[in-house]
A and B are shown apart, each in its own frame.
Chain A
Amino acid sequence: MPSPAYHAPDTIEQAVALLAGDAGARPLSGGTDLIVQMRSGRTAPSSLVDLKRIAGMKGIRASPDGGFAIGAATPCTALKDDKALSAAWPGVVEAANLIGSVQVRNRATMAGNLCNASPAADSVPALVAAGATCLVAGPSGTREVPVEEIPAAPGRTSLQPGEFVAEIRLPAQKGSDAYLRSIPRTEMDIAVVGAGVSLVVDANGTCTAARVSIGAVAPTVLLVEDAGAALVGSKFDDAALDRMAEAVRAACKPIADKRGTVEYRTAMAGVLAKRVVKIALERAGVSA
């Protein structure tokens, strides 16, 4: 097997040119998926475009509107070290820090987690629930895309030739968020089910906005709009939570494997969705 070329460009434009100029080129962020896939022979890129030396690609910037722009090559541990980000979006930061071990999280990025397009990617449901977007750089400039539109199928994204994710953007936090996954072990395993939520609650305890997402129970991470709608207008009473969980179960199209059957994954998705709502409510200072 010929060895791929390795490039470490300094600018977004150079990276786009390298990616657009070679159909077999792949972006390299932390490499925790890509290097494993290359070594196992599952993928054989003709060139690697390391994004980590591009200025601004590593780091977190607070946006003027109260949101955050996270450089695509920012490792998961750096998210945890950012106090403002952790306070605003604890669910997103926790989800990214469920990935692998400390060694893995010191390299792994949310953009890589997203663009690897695994249905079980842990940071993705939390980003989808948060309403995060990606700044995508490509041959015709940049465009902003909702996170849930990036994965197209297991292992496939909707990115066009020459495009890569330059930044992940989180909006200003108006409520609270949470993510949970279910795994057979306590650490270092792939999610059997994951669920994320982000909620806005008014002074009376009424839900004014809700986004619910699920992972590992369909070919891509899903935003379950019906589940969010079931909560809006409610005070999180049992009936509203049951309707929300029912919408989550209805959206599941899971596979069965050694980690869980279709029935188990579907039932568990509803259970986890209720649990994340309760955690997000506690974080919002509302007792459920």
Chain B
Amino acid sequence: MSKLLVSTTVNGDPQQFLCDPDTTLLDALREEMGLTGSKEGCGSGDCGACTVVLDGEMVCSCLVLAPEAEGRQIATIEGVAEGSQLHPVQRKFLEHGALQCGFCTPGFIMASKALLDRNPNPSESEVRYWLAGNLCRCTGYDKIVRAVMDAAAELRQDRRTAA
């Protein structure tokens, strides 16, 4: 079977790559585009380490076929910081020590940012339910939840100052 040419937009930049039809989007990002921030934990949709945002909705990139990305918009962890300026979610993960080995962190940041983009004032239990698809072997989750709550508070503050 011949390779498919896929044209897509990743973090705002047009991207083209060749792939087998059953390549996952995760493998295409990591191997064809050199974007290795998204991790493969399970390859079966259970761990969330591969979370990216596809046309505005967060998905497990291990459960998306690369050809499905034709003409679509993809946002990955590589596009979250603006230059050297970390996104508040990233900064709060560092400040709260919400990571240890860091393997799950890109997925958690993508999911947390997706939540705060639509709801800047989540309750703790909303945060916990939203992040149920992201697994972490190391942190015990409390620090992650605190980092997200704190990032939410800062984002609300920023909005008030901007208004």
* A160: chain B residues within 8 A (beta carbon): none
Residue among B48, B64, B70, B129 making CB contact with A107, cutoff 8 Å: B64
Interface contact A3-B20, CB-CB below 8 Å: yes
Interface contact B45-A8, CB-CB below 8 Å: no
Most buried by A among B1, B22, B62, B64: B22
* B54: chain A residues within 8 A (beta carbon): 106
A210-248 contacts to B (CB < 8 Å): none
B110-159 contacts to A (CB < 8 Å): 111, 114, 129-130, 132-134
**Bound Cα distance from A101 to B45, whole angstroms:** 9
Interface contact B68-A101, CB-CB below 8 Å: no
Smallest beta-carbon distance A255→chain B, Å: 22
How does the 8 Å CB contact mask read for A95-127 relative to B, with 1 for contact and 0 for none? 000001111101100000000000000000000
Closest A residue, CB atoms, query B24: A35
Residue among B21, B68, B134 making CB contact with A5, cutoff 8 Å: B21
B20-57 contacts to A (CB < 8 Å): 20-22, 24, 43-46, 48, 51, 54, 57
Interface contact B132-A31, CB-CB below 8 Å: no
How does the 8 Å CB contact mask read for B45-86 relative to A, with 1 for contact and 0 for none? 110100100100111101111011010000000000000000
**Bound Cα distance from A77 to B57, whole angstroms:** 10
Would you give 27 A-B contacts (Cβ < 8 Å), ordered by A?
Answer: A4-B1, A4-B22, A6-B21, A6-B65, A6-B67, A8-B67, A31-B65, A35-B24, A48-B21, A48-B22, A50-B68, A52-B68, A100-B45, A101-B134, A102-B111, A102-B130, A103-B48, A103-B59, A104-B133, A106-B57, A106-B59, A107-B59, A107-B60, A107-B63, A187-B132, A188-B132, A188-B133
Interface contact B133-A102, CB-CB below 8 Å: yes
* A2: chain B residues within 8 A (beta carbon): 1
* A104: chain B residues within 8 A (beta carbon): 45, 60, 63, 133
Q: Does B5 contact A (CB under 8 A)?
A: no
Interface contact B58-A3, CB-CB below 8 Å: no
A183-201 contacts to B (CB < 8 Å): 187-188
Q: Does A38 contact B (CB under 8 A)?
A: yes
Smallest beta-carbon distance B58→chain A, Å: 5
Interface contact A36-B58, CB-CB below 8 Å: no
**Bound Cα distance from A8 to B46, whole angstroms:** 26
A12-43 contacts to B (CB < 8 Å): 28, 30-32, 35-36, 38-40
How does the 8 Å CB contact mask read for A64-90 relative to B, with 1 for contact and 0 for none? 000000000001010000000000000
Interface contact B22-A3, CB-CB below 8 Å: yes
* B51: chain A residues within 8 A (beta carbon): 103
Interface contact A38-B132, CB-CB below 8 Å: no
Given A48-B21, A101-B132, A103-B58, A188:B46 Cβ within 8 A? yes
Closest A residue, CB atoms, query B129: A187
Closest A residue, CB atoms, query B114: A102
Q: Does B4 contact A (CB under 8 A)?
A: yes
Closest B residue, CB atoms, query A44: B22
Interface contact A39-B44, CB-CB below 8 Å: yes
* A6: chain B residues within 8 A (beta carbon): 4, 21-22, 65, 67
Smallest beta-carbon distance A155→chain B, Å: 17
Q: Can you name 10 extra interface pairs (CB under 8 A) apart from A8-B68, A35-B62, A107-B64?
A: A5-B21, A6-B65, A36-B45, A39-B44, A48-B65, A101-B48, A102-B58, A102-B111, A102-B114, A107-B63
* A40: chain B residues within 8 A (beta carbon): 44
Smallest beta-carbon distance B120→chain A, Å: 17
Interface contact A4-B21, CB-CB below 8 Å: yes
Closest A residue, CB atoms, query B58: A103
**Bound Cα distance from A146 to B22, whole angstroms:** 33
**Bound Cα distance from A28 to B68, whole angstroms:** 10
**Bound Cα distance from A77 to B58, whole angstroms:** 11
Closest A residue, CB atoms, query B52: A103
Interface contact B64-A31, CB-CB below 8 Å: yes
**Bound Cα distance from A53 to B64, whole angstroms:** 15
Q: Which 7 A-B pairs have the closest CB atoms?
A: A101-B133, A6-B21, A187-B132, A106-B57, A3-B20, A3-B1, A6-B67
